[in-house]
Amino acid sequence: MLNDEILLKIEKPACYIGGEVNSVMKDKDNVDIRFAMCFPDVYEIGMSHLGIQIIYDMLNRFEDTWCERVYAPWTDLDAVMRENEIPLFALESQEPIKDFDFLGITLQYEMCYTNILQILELSRIPVWSKDRTDADPIVIGGGPCSYNPEPIADFFDLFYIGEGETMYRRLLDLYKEMKKSGHSRDEFLHEAGKLPGIYCPSLYEVTYKEDGTIATFTPKFEDVPATIDKEMVTELSDTYYPLKPVVPFIKVTQDRVVLEIMRGCIRGCRFCQAGQLYRPLRERDVNVLKNYAFEMLKNTGHEEISLSSLSSSDYSQLPELIDYLIEECNRKKINISLPSLRIDAFSLDVMSKVQDVKKSSLTFAPEAGSQRLRDVINKGLTEEVILNGAREAFEGGWNKVKLYFMLGLPTETRDDMEGIAKLSNEIAKVYYETVPKEKRQGRVQIVTSTSFFVPKPFTPFQWAQMSTKEEFLDKAYIVKEAIKSQLNQKSIKYNWHEADVTVLEGVFARGDRKISEVIYHAYKKGCLFDSWSEYFNNELWLQSFEECGVSIDFYTTRKRSEDEIFPWDFISCGVSKEFLLREWKKALDETISPNCRQACQGCGASGYGVGVCTEEKTGVSL
């Protein structure tokens, strides 16, 4: 699709030529369905995403389907494609996306929404779903952001709500059958909207109250469900997994074999959307994982393997898996990466076996600077545990620590903010108390980072008010000044996130269908790659909100009543709104809830009858 002259002009031509190891080639004349799987960001990020590899592998196992990949072209190629009228194409066949049956777009983070419009426009697919004809692909979205699809609902024909392994076969069979019998696009979409987990926005209508909140959200037809239940894999050890993942030609963000050890989380942190969406916790069998690790390393030639989960320390067969990996990987000189571990004696012992202690840094995520605020967010981490973990780490030879906090959490006070500086200082103090002068490798290095809190759908904080840009920056200033006043300030480096991006993320996270017009306006003004700070242009976004008559504060700082209908209330993620409201009230009372292995909190996920919900509860603290 791109000639040599163009490839020589652009920065990373290897991102667009396809042909990588393990990419799947099929004869297009021997398949019934062509599916373009899109990650709406650059190749290097999209190729690092496990979810796409799983769907790619699954769809290509179907004999009647050929799934290919497409990513957002970087700005240099975007300009060339527009100038030379080159339509966006898939990597494998190098053929235009417009000729495919489906364009599947994964929605991993809100700040890629303008990139979705770039993908559609470059593909010559009408941006608004209402303008598409039978000649256009079916545009389907999935991934975590599809749990509130409303801000982008008008750009999509369908959304797949939940985990991708379960319903695609039925959807594709329906498509084949209806295409064969000459049914129209609209007829297919109507039937697809009846399938479990499939949401077709055009089949629903929204009415609003005078104050701008939702009055009703209802199906237009009696045969369409009023509630969409998420799709979920009940048996993780017996489902699709890519044993031959595609190996990129160039260095990507995560150049390694990824072993997903479990889904879900028992912890119940009240700010964490993933912890609610993927309930209940389900584990993969350790012997299955050993086999996956062996096969994937053999099939890719990668020199690193990483465990993927929300909280790896909670995987019940972790010691056995780690022992196997250490033995295998040491023999083959493979590195092991272990994110999401709780810093305790076991984890530190493991990390010292698999990491070069001198080079690596340890990561703690206290999230809040005081114990009071950690109780509000239900972060089961005390200062004593944090300092003990740091002490053991320093004794083990580490001298670099990364700390992650959030600013703008509900009920936050100045003391909580200054607590971030105090806790950073206490950890530095532990280093100097623990490591004798003669054994120190220079000064301890502590990097304290704060992100700004965004209340997400399907969390107890979905009712919370969000801070303004100015308030966020004031909070960061308070932390910065508090760090300057600490005894060990020279050992502490402080970073904070961009406030204006966070505000926009807050609008997209809890937005409704009125937001799509704003996104379209901003895109037309030139907004693209908004998650890349060098391209983010807040001024253009502010203009777009003003021109569309949409208030940012309505979605961010407005106080929400307990009985308000949220734009995402028609989706059931298995966790009830009653449970989330109970947790919101407990947060305001500064009361903690035990984790799922200690005691069931009646969230609703036990209705699936799988995973941690079927385990006996300990009734004691882990």
Mean pLDDT of the region 154-167: 98
Residue 1 in this model has a pLDDT that exceeds 90: no
Angle, CA of 374, 377 and 383, to the nearest 5°: 15
The residue written with tokens 């307990």 in the block is: 562
User: Which residues are CB-contacts of 542 (< 8 A; sequence separation ≥ 6)?
Assistant: none
User: Looking at the predicted structure, is the pLDDT value of residue 478 above 60?
Assistant: yes
Only one residue has tokens 């545009």, namely 139
Q: What is the mean pLDDT of residues 50-70?
A: 97
**pLDDT of 445 above 90:** yes
Residue 568 tokens, joined: 């995402």
Written in H, E and C, the secondary structure of 535-577 is CCCHHHHHHHHHHCCCCHHHHCCCCCCCCCCCCCCCEECCCCH
Q: Considering the chain, what is the average pLDDT of its residues?
A: 95
What is the fold, at CATH topology level, of the domain defined by 356-514+550-572? Transcription Regulator spoIIAA (3.30.750)
In the chain, the amino acid numbered 549 is G
Q: What is the DSSP string of 50-71?
A: HHHHHHHHHHHHSTTEEEEEEE
Q: How confident is the model at residue 379 (pLDDT cuts 50, 70, 90)?
A: very high
- Per-residue pLDDT of 18-36, as tens digits, reads 999 999 999 999 999 999 9
What's the one-letter identity of residue 318? L
- pLDDT tens digits for range 2-11: 999 999 999 9
| Contact between residue 118 and residue 78 where contact means Cβ atoms under 8 Å apart | yes
Residue found by looking up tokens 């950890």 in the block = 427
The yes-or-no verdict on residue 136 having pLDDT over 50 is yes
Range of lowest pLDDT (280-284, 395-399, 400-404, 426-430):
395-399
Domain ranges, ordered by start, for the chain: 4-229, 356-514+550-572
Q: What is the pLDDT of residue 338?
A: 85
Any idea which of 252-261, 270-279, 402-411, 546-555 has the lowest mean pLDDT?
252-261
User: What is the model's pLDDT at position 340?
Assistant: 82
What pTM value is reported for the model? 0.97
**CATH annotation of 4-229:** 3.40.50.280
Contact 176, 207 (CB under 8 A): no
Confidence of residue 622 (pLDDT cuts 50, 70, 90): very low
pLDDT in tens, 496-508: 999 999 999 999 9
The DSSP bridge partners found for residue 38 are 70, 105
pLDDT at 346: 83
| Tokens matching residue 279 | 């309930």
Residues 143, 120: Cα–Cα separation, whole Å: 18
Per-residue model confidence (pLDDT) at position 325: 94
pLDDT in tens, 315-359: 999 999 999 999 988 888 898 988 888 888 788 888 888 877 677
pLDDT for res 353:
83
Is 621 a residue whose pLDDT tops 50?
no
pLDDT at 620: 54
Mean pLDDT of 278-289: 98
Q: What whole-number distance in Å separates Cα of residue 456 and Cα of residue 568?
A: 11
For residue 247, CA distances in Å to 11, 224, 254, 566 come to 20, 41, 11, 41
Higher pLDDT, 341 or 72: 72
pLDDT of residue 348: 85
> Could you give the angle at which helices 538-547 and 499-510 cross, rounded to 10 degrees?
40
**Do residues 474 and 412 lie in contact, with contact meaning Cβ atoms separated by under 8 Å?**
no
